[in-house]
Chains A and B, each alone.
Chain A
């Protein structure tokens, strides 16, 4: 040990505080380096080595700057409840919290009672500034959460007057989509109906993929549809074949949409594949709710058999099983998990970072109120609860991200910024095929797995090898009369021909296909028979 210390650089020997700081910084740098660099020593190409070396240096400096920026420019740290002695965090009531916090935070504790339009569902914009609420019996509202003002309320009894099953904001608060009785509709902020998406049918759940500008829906008949909201193009339309469901959640990390089915399975979909990417059996009973961690690595599911399971989506393994029932689940930005059932909300949290969720808080609303939806408000320590008698909002310390990135989501956005951001996000729109389980695979080398169809060149090469192999085959020595060179030659020829045959047949088939296609095209161009007699004949001299 002693020797090691002696050998160490003078930088290593620092006062403990600074050491800690440097360690912290190192951790952050590591985070920003996004993995290890390649081992350059094994490279033989000196030029490449040099290039990569400089690259790595640049990455290093970039990560370091980022870490420093994070350290010094994002100072707010999230708080959380800390119990002393025998105290338990889940015993702490909202009143106690409300008494302790500042006025602006205390403002976020409220209940809004709207008894007429049944259970409410909620959705927040990505900045957390606006909330859309939809009453099942036909009530739509957009609320500015900052100054607690109602922006627009559509009294469903007047305008909609039909079931509203789900509501979801599009890329910003200007538009929102509502799944109504027959079709989903898109409204703007002023409550003007912009579109009726008839193709989707009677949708039960809606999800909007922000980066891809895709509106995903699952309808009563178990059909999953993706629609591009920029151009209105229908990107995908898949029959899940797993029955009706109203459990649907998009993975914010990769855009994969997960559906929970009555068979206890969760299927994950992307818009360019008609079969589910993954189908996993999560519960023995029907799945009631599902949520994804913002980093996309965790998934929480709850089944009718009164269990909540937390899954590692990368390995498809269950990490933890919590007993309890949940009709609705939601992860907060900081990774707290809210589970609502009946008139009781439970919050699970892991502050150790070991992905081990334990009871953190609980809250029960008035008996008899049925919780329909829980949703954490981004960048705030607030949980919104939609229930049968309106919605309420409670404080959950440590749930929201304390530092917001104005480039990403700005709660204090001005009109101009919003417009600017809209354009930017449209320019940065990702094509639907980028949705995949591991988006970090984009740009990497294709795995040299089975190919659907060999190319012409490969076929030729195969043919050649086959012919060579056929030529190489030894011919049996036969009795004197039958061992004539001419006969051997004929035999050899036959062997070669036989080796060639499958390839040639394949080629023939393909050619025929092409010819058929051509013919089809030609037919399309030709006038229909009924009109042919009207076509101008060639002028005869």
Chain B
């Protein structure tokens, strides 16, 4: 029942308020003027009542509040809007002064430009409003009767019947709050209408207040128009969106602009050469021509040109000089003003001078510093060339850095000083920690410096020593020095440089490192001491030696000691005896001969004898060996090793033969043909079958008999020819195999080190490890593949060398040149020579034309738009179009000339 009364009361008040409204809004508007922001906030934040009022309300109707709250709890469980306590309420700051004057007079030229979009609802029809009110009433009823569905439905139906509006319109209203208005209306407690958004301020309301004032009519008119059209201004888009849209629009536009150029650009890009031979006229040829084109642009230029081109002046200049003088006259005012100007300038200059003098006299350094600073600051503003500016900036930066360096860690910064002034104890924890950190850092740095200073102290002592040394005589300088050094190192070793207990060096890993280093140093020192000692001893020894014998020193320089003489030939002989090469043996023999001639040493003789004996013994032994070998394999096929052996033996035989033949008379003439023989016969003989070799032997003996005759090589040739065709193929095959082996070496046979694992039966049984075998297999396969890939793999009678020619490598490219992606295409593209030697004169030019053809001195003008058929291709059309253009352009020029003249 109470609530019923309340509603009635409220309705009444609302009715009454309709009359009050203008007044209320005057007040409101004042506020909105004064602190519009707050007002706005309020409006946005929705229903929020001051705390005090709420309490009051609670006191008045506790049920209602609770009921409504319950309602909210039930229906609004999705999202509960909680609002922070307004600032005015919390009273944390008292920025909001109490307002005394609520009266507000609208200024005469007031025009409310801000038509609030929130008020749009108010332009709805009046019916709606009524419906709303009714709906609200219904809501209240419903609240009154507690929540009963049936009732609700009935009520809704009734409402529908009355208003003819859909039921949803009413259902929505269910959740509205009920607030009684048992308090005076103010900005803090706005009316229900305002809170609910129903009683929004309409433009009409505002207009009413200024009725009859000037400008009212226009306003009215405008509002009417707006109403009629129902045109509503949308809120402007956010700036980002607007910009984006703008950009996209601009992009579209520019795209259109640019696509127009596309065929033109494409044509230029595709053209093998771009010719700039159309506008060969490079413009002005003389200074006069350039000058004639001059047009005054700036103020000064215009003034000058007006003076220069003045008819009077020109005429005077042409006719006679006296007129010119007349024109030159200056008026009195002009003269006075100029004189005054000069005087002013002079006085200014003088004053400046005086001032500078005074400033110069000032002795205060601070003043000068400040002055300089000011000057520098001022100079920064002045435009300089980039280089200077950069330099200056660098300088300043450096200075700043320097300052930073000096001020840091020293508690000299403003902040630190202030803290110190205030007392560190009074500061909070964080600041104190920061200060401590700084101090610590400072301490660290300074300590390091100190330690460095300590180390430098040793220099002093060395200085002293130097002075001591200088006293001593030159002779015993060295031992003294050495002794000194020893002493010093010992001292260094003995002294224990204390490891600092704090700071970085006190960290465990640093300690470790230091220790390690120290140990190393100690070791070195000890070594040094030893060295010193030893050298000292030596010095003493040498001193003694000096006394006893002076002549015998330096064993290396002296030659001719009998010992060495003996040794050298020995070595030679030994080497020669081991070498199987016949030539080497010959050499050895010679050596021995010489040796025999030279020295009569017994030992030497014996040596030689033995060697010669050995050589002698070699011959039959070898021959026997050879014979046995030959007997073993009589077939035409022989292994390679055997052949080598054979050839060796043969060589040896020949050499021995030489020995026998020549006996000692051994002239150069004789040796030469023999070697020549070898050269020719070597291959054939080496691999021949036994019969052949025997024949060769015979031949060899024979040839030795006929050595002096000229026919000898030809005879050999003859024999060679006679036996030709027997083994050439074989020989060649062997050769090929050899070369193949050289270029693709055969993998080594898998073998173990002798004795490796032989005492274990297990390994013996197992044989080689599997991976070794596998690797061997792999290598074999690889080799076979390589052999198969060779160019001469299928050509039995050909050996094609696969050796890389490094010098010819530079004639090939390592990688494909850029635009090409396939080797074939590249190689086909370079198949044609383009030089004048290979092409007709008419084609050479086109083949070798550069990308850009341009006459010297031609200015390349920016590209100009022209219509290009994007589908055309080939140079001829282009050239034609260019010609057309040229014609057009020239026409235009003619026209222009005509117009000018």
Which residues of A are interface residues toward B (Cβ below 8 A)? 33-40, 42-45, 47-48, 50-52, 54-55, 58-59, 61-62, 65-66, 69, 221-222, 243-244, 262-265, 270, 272-273, 275-282, 284-286, 304-305, 316-317, 407, 432-434, 436, 440-446, 449, 452
Contact indicator A272/B808 (Cβ below 8 Å): yes
- Assess whether B829 is in contact with A281, with CB atoms less than 8 Å apart: no
| Partner-binding segment picked from B277-285, B398-406, B435-443, B729-737 | B729-737
Contact between chains at B807 and A221 (CB < 8 Å): no
* A317 surroundings in chain B (CB, below 8 A): 795
Assess the A273–B724 pair: CB atoms within 8 A.
no
Chain A residues, CB < 8 A from B840: 62, 65-66, 69
- For the complex formed, measure the closest distance between the CB of A190 and the CB atoms of chain B, giving whole angstroms: 32
* A58 x B843 contact (CB < 8 A): yes
A35 touches B825 (CB 8 A): no
A405, chain B: closest CB distance, angstroms = 10
Which chain B positions have C-beta within 8 A of A445?
812-816, 823, 826-827
What separation, in Å, do the CA atoms of A264 and B731 have in the docked complex?
A: 10
Judged by a CB distance under 8 angstroms, whether B830 is at the interface is: yes
Chain B minimum-CB-distance residue to A446? B812
User: Separation in Å of the B608 CB from the closest CB of chain A?
Assistant: 34
| A–B complex contacts, Cβ < 8 Å, 26 sampled | A33-B832, A34-B831, A38-B829, A39-B825, A48-B819, A61-B843, A62-B843, A65-B843, A66-B840, A66-B843, A263-B728, A264-B732, A279-B732, A281-B798, A284-B725, A284-B728, A285-B721, A285-B724, A316-B797, A316-B798, A432-B807, A436-B805, A444-B812, A444-B826, A444-B830, A452-B806
- Contacts A263-B731, A265-B732; is A277 near B812 (CB within 8 Å)? no
B776-806 toward A: CB 8 Å interface, digit per residue (1/0)? 0000000000000000100101111101111
Complex Cα gap A244–B811 (Å)? 34
Chain B 715-742 against A: per-residue CB contact (8 Å), 1 yes, 0 no? 0010011001100110110010001000
B819 touches A51 (CB 8 A): yes
B128 within 8 A of A: no
- Chain B residues with Cβ below 8 Å from A43 are 821, 825
B824 within 8 A of A: yes
A263 touches B732 (CB 8 A): yes
Least distance between A471 CB and chain B CB atoms (Å):
21
> Which of B272, B721, B805 is close to A272, meaning CB atoms less than 8 Å apart?
B805
B846 on the A face (CB < 8 A): yes
Question: How far, in Å, is A439 (CB) from chain B's closest CB?
Answer: 9
Besides A51-B272, A281-B732, A442-B811, 16 more A-B contacts (Cβ < 8 Å) are A34-B832, A45-B819, A59-B832, A66-B839, A265-B732, A275-B739, A276-B799, A277-B801, A280-B795, A280-B797, A285-B725, A433-B810, A434-B808, A436-B805, A444-B823, A446-B813
A44–B820 alpha-carbon span in the complex (Å): 10
B828 in the interface (beta carbon within 8 A): yes
Q: Mark B825-868, 1 if CB is under 8 A from A, else 0.
A: 11111111100010110111011000000000000000000000
Kindly list chain A residues whose C-beta atoms are within 8 Å of the C-beta of B837: 407
Expressed in whole angstroms, the Cα–Cα distance for A51 and B849 within the complex equals 13
Structural contact, A273 and B272, CB atoms closer than 8 A? no
Instruction: State how many angstroms separate the Cβ of A540 from the closest Cβ of chain B.
Output: 14
Q: Please, how many angstroms separate the alpha-carbon atoms of A33 and B843 in the complex?
A: 13
Separation of A446 and B821 alpha carbons in the complex (Å): 15
Q: Which residues of A contact B805 (CB under 8 A)?
A: 270, 272-273, 433, 436
Interface size class on chain B is: 35 or more
Chain B proximity of A297: nearest CB distance (Å): 16
Whether A452 contacts B798 by the Cβ 8 Å rule is: no
Given the contacts A51-B272, A65-B840, A446-B813, A280 and B847 also touching, CB distance less than 8 Å: no
Complex interface: chain A residues within 8 A of B732 (CB): 263-265, 279, 281
Complexed CA–CA distance, A370 and B831 (Å): 47
> Hey, which chain A residues are within 8 Å of B810, CB to CB?
433
A444 touches B827 (CB 8 A): yes
The residues of B with any CB-CB pair to A shorter than 8 Å are 269-270, 272, 676, 679-680, 683, 713, 717, 720-721, 724-725, 728-729, 731-732, 735, 739, 792, 795, 797-801, 803-816, 819-833, 837, 839-840, 842-844, 846-847
**Which residue of the partner chain, among A34, A52, A273, A281, contacts B801 with CB atoms under 8 Å?**
A273
Q: Is the CB of B680 within 8 A of A62?
A: no
> CB-CB < 8 A to B830: which residues of A?
443-444
Give complex CA distance A436, B801 in Å. Answer: 12
A270 to B803, CA, bound (A): 12
The 8 closest A-B pairs by CB, nearest first: A62-B843, A38-B828, A284-B725, A281-B797, A433-B807, A38-B825, A285-B724, A65-B840
Using A48-B819, A244-B680, A443-B830 as known contacts, say yes or no to A286 and B724 having CB atoms under 8 A apart.
yes
Q: A62-B839, A65-B843, A244-B680 are in contact. Are A38 and B824 (CB under 8 A)?
A: yes
List the B side residues contacting A44 at CB < 8 Å. Answer: 821
Neighbouring B residues of A221 by C-beta, 8 Å: 676, 679
Closest to A441 in B: B812
A-B contact count (CB 8 A): 168
Question: What residue in chain B is nearest A56 (Cβ atoms)?
Answer: B829
- B803 to A, closest residue via Cβ: A275
Shortest Cβ gap from A309 to chain B (Å): 11
Report the Cα distance A304→B270, complex, angstroms. Answer: 64
B843 to chain A, nearest CB (A): 4
Task: Give chain A residues whose Cβ lies under 8 Å from the Cβ of B813.
Answer: 443-446
Distance between Cα atoms of A66 and B841 in the complex (Å): 9
Cα-based distance from A156 to B781 in the complex (angstroms): 63
With contacts A38-B824, A48-B819, A263-B683 taken as known, whether A279 is within 8 angstroms of B799 at the C-beta atoms is yes
A277 to B306, CA, bound (A): 89
Residues of A within 8 A of B821 (CB): 43-45
Q: Which residues of A contact B826 (CB under 8 A)?
A: 444-445
In the bound assembly, the distance between CA atoms of A482 and B269 in angstroms comes to 71
Q: With A62-B843, A434-B811 in contact, do A284 and B831 touch (Cβ < 8 Å)?
A: no
With A61-B846, A433-B805 given, is the CB distance from A48 to B728 under 8 Å?
Answer: no
* Minimum CB–CB distance for A246 against chain B, Å: 11
Chain B residues whose CB sits within 8 angstroms of the CB of A48 once the complex forms: 819-820
* Beta-carbon contact of A277 and B819 below 8 Å: no
What is the CB-to-nearest-CB distance from A431 to chain B, in angstroms, rounded to a whole number? 9
A530 to B: closest C-beta gap in Å: 11
Tell me the complex Cα distance, A385–B842, Å. Answer: 43
Most buried by B among A35, A265, A441, A442: A265
Least CB distance from A118 to B in Å reads: 16
Query: Residue of B at shortest CB range from A50?
Result: B270
Nearest-neighbor residue (CB-CB) of B725 within chain A: A284
Q: How far is the CB of A327 from chain B (nearest CB, A)?
A: 14
Q: How far is the CA of A44 from the CA of B806 in the complex (A)?
A: 35
Which residue of B is nearest A67, CB measured? B840
B643 to chain A, nearest CB (A): 16
CA gap between A44 and B725 in the complex, in Å: 59
* Contact residues in B for A305 (Cβ distance below 8 Å): 724-725
Q: Of A52, A61, A279, which one neighbours B829 at CB under 8 angstroms?
A: A52
Give min CB distance, B883 to chain A, whole Å. Answer: 21
- Alpha-carbon distance between A45 and B676 when the two chains are bound, in angstroms: 65
What is the CA–CA distance of A270 and B676 in the complex, to the nearest angstrom? 26
Chain A residues with CB under 8 A of B269:
47
Question: Beyond A444-B830, A446-B809, is A58–B847 a contact (Cβ under 8 Å)?
Answer: yes
Q: Considering residues A316, A432, A452, which has the most beta carbons from chain B within 10 angstroms of its beta carbon? A: A316
Q: Which residue of B lies closest to A33 (CB)?
A: B832
**Which A residues lie within 8 Å of B832 (CB)?**
33-34, 59, 62
A263 CA to B717 CA in the complex, in Å? 11
Give the shortest distance, in Å, between A223 (CB) and chain B (any CB).
Answer: 11
A280 contacts B812, CB within 8 Å? no
A279 to B797, CA, bound (A): 8
B62 to chain A, nearest CB (A): 72
Give Cα A316 to B798, complex, Å.
7
Please name all residues of chain B whose beta carbon is closer than 8 Å to the beta carbon of A39 when the two chains form the complex. 825
Among A40, A62, A280, A444, the residue within 8 A (CB) of B798 is: A280
Whether the pair B270, A281 counts as a contact (CB closer than 8 A) is no
Q: Are B725 and A443 in contact (CB-based, < 8 A)?
A: no
A275–B801 contact, CB under 8 A? yes
| Chain A residues, Cβ within 8 Å of B272 | 51, 54
